[in-house]
Structure 1
């Protein structure tokens, strides 16, 4: 049965889950319509550029969520509270490791070339925002950069391994270990002053 959707923002979450499940290459327009209940006419009404436009809109939607919920708090809020908030938001967004990082998945296949700038900027902004919070928390800039790179890489790796191992607890353990490492570094830095 065809689903009635009135606004483009209503469509984005529906098509995003299809891309999460099938990847860019697997998400044909016919599979998108079958899995969302949207007609092809509705899809082309909202996305006249087809699948590439849908993917670009999804990436923009995800990026806006991360800017609002992670990047800006890390850049502007009290650093330790913002970092604690990051762990909570990451765990919730990725559903404790049961939801893939679509931007990370796009970075791994041919899609990367289509959306290279958007994908690259997402990861750079995350690492820079976390690094800035770590510096404000007292970590030296070089160490903050290294820690932020390792943290984002660890989160992405945790997502992959959680799904690969079919272990629903793996991602939570990964976040806990990364969180502990950062807390220990901040405590050590603040204790030495």
Structure 2
């Protein structure tokens, strides 16, 4: 198994158990690798595994969602495309947000600056599209923050209710709420 394959297999374990709950035993089980093999790939232990997963998920999000917002085109088209990518990225809300997972407990101590910078980039990227659509910068930033809050809230509802409808509803209405 390559290191990248191991990282991909670690993602669901961190999403399900969080940083603190993802023990080395669970991470070993998730990858099918023994603890010694995990340490071979990740000599820094669980924190290095989490950092590698963070980078992998962040890269995937950037390629699918942020690049969509940053390309040329009409703002409404970019936002609609980003919503489609969000639906795919979060598997209709079934995938927890890795930024949220890494924002509490021990993970927050380790990754706070990275998580904050990433969240600010997402908000800024979305706000820039709204400014392109003629919305004042301060209002665009507030709408972008509100959109993130709605998405995060929908992800929580999906997890607790075991129903993707709240996420689908938020994503479906997002372009109108952002540009309306």
TM range (shorter): over 0.9
Matching residue of 2:30: 35
What is the Cα deviation at residue 77 of structure 1? 2.6
Q: Describe the superposition over 1:133-180 as per-residue Cα deviations: whole angstroms up to 9, x where unpaired.
A: 111122111111111010111111110112122222111012123232
Contact 1:155 1:174 in 2 (8 A): yes
* Residue in structure 2 matching 1:54, options 49, 60, 75: 49
How far the C-alpha of 1:47 sits from its partner, in A, is: 0.5
Q: Any unmatched runs of 5+ in structure 2? A: none
C-alpha contact (below 8 Å) 2:90/2:97 kept by paired residues: yes
C-alpha separation in 2, matches of 1:162 and 1:71: 23
Is residue 22 from structure 1 mapped to residue 17 from structure 2 by the alignment?
A: yes
Which of 150, 162, 171 is the aligned partner of 2:146?
Answer: 150
Q: Is the 8 A contact 1:72 1:129 kept in 2?
A: no
Taking the TM superposition and a 5 Å limit, the aligned residue runs for 1:89-168 are 89-168=85-164
Whole-angstrom distance in 1 between the partners of 2:152 and 2:83 = 13
TM-score of the pair, normalised by structure 1: 0.87
For 1:83, the equivalent position in structure 2 comes to 79
Paired residues in the alignment total 179
Gap runs ≥5 in structure 1: 186-193
Bigger Rg over Cα: 1
Residue 71 of structure 1 deviates from its aligned partner by: 1.7
CA contact (8 A) 2:144 2:178 kept: no
Q: CA RMSD in A?
A: 1.4
* 2:6 alignment counterpart: 11
